[in-house]
Amino acid sequence: MKIILGRLMCISGLFLVLLSPAFSQSPPTPGEPPRFPQITVEQLPPDARPLAEEIMAISSVGLGGPYNVMLRSPVFADRMKRLLDYLRFNTSLPTRLNEFAILIQGRLWRSQVEWYAHYPLALKAGLSQQVADDLKAGIHPRNMKPDEEVVYDVSMEMVNNHQISDALFQKSKAILGEQQLVDLVAVSGTYVTVAMLLALGQEMPPPGKPLPFP
């Protein structure tokens, strides 16, 4: 009975995290200047301009989104870009699972830019639209594959409990292996940082695009 009750409390806590209105990234107040005016290549120090060119070659939002904030600290931006290069393009985690992990953090933070940028990438990588849409709606995603369930459970337990149970660790290790499990936690934590940078700058999707979380 105690185990069942504990499980129900854990599930309840996960839904509270998903549905909590505290996790919301709002656009700037109309009429107020942006916190960080959009940076241009010409405004950057000469040694940071090659980095900006690299970013524009791969970014769906150009130098907008998190890069507009990151580039205020060019050395940090360079280090973060290298980390993102690994976590996006060279990670051991399959792209479908990697993008799902990013969407989970995007949903938890109600991050407009993260969801706008990664929802189509997740679907392209093979994540079921039902799984993505359930996640966005605050519903425990239905019909997840076993490896997707692991990604969801690890991500949510880490957020809710700041750790994962021994049972989930063993299950995750059996399904993903050690490297993929470590890379899952790494990408999840990194996209919390990205969400925080976006919130700091009140960064939004490109003008004219609907907000994922109105």
Residues 122, 132 contacting (CB under 8 angstroms): yes
Q: What pLDDT is recorded for position 19?
A: 46
DSSP output for 17-28:
HHH-TTS--PPP
Residues 53, 139 contacting (CB under 8 angstroms): no
DSSP assigned state of 101? H
Q: What is the pLDDT of residues 6-50, one digit of tens each?
A: 454 444 444 444 544 445 688 888 888 999 999 999 999 999 999
Handedness of CA 198, 203, 204, 206 (dihedral sign): negative
d(CA 39, CA 71): 8
**Which residue blocks in the chain are alpha helix, DSSP H?**
2-19, 49-58, 66-70, 74-85, 95-108, 112-124, 129-136, 146-161, 166-176, 178-201
Average pLDDT over residues 86-112: 97
Q: Which residues of 69-88 are buried (b: 16+ CB within 10 A; e: fewer)?
A: bbbeebeebbebbeebeebb
Would you place residue 59 in the very low, low, confident or very high pLDDT band (cuts 50, 70, 90)?
confident
Q: What pLDDT is recorded for position 24?
A: 63
d(CA 198, CA 72): 13
d(CA 35, CA 197): 12
List the structure tokens of 73. 């600290």
Average pLDDT over residues 85-99: 97
pTM, two decimal places: 0.88
Q: What is the pLDDT of residues 141-199, one digit of tens each?
A: 999 999 999 999 999 999 999 999 999 999 999 999 999 999 999 999 999 999 999 99
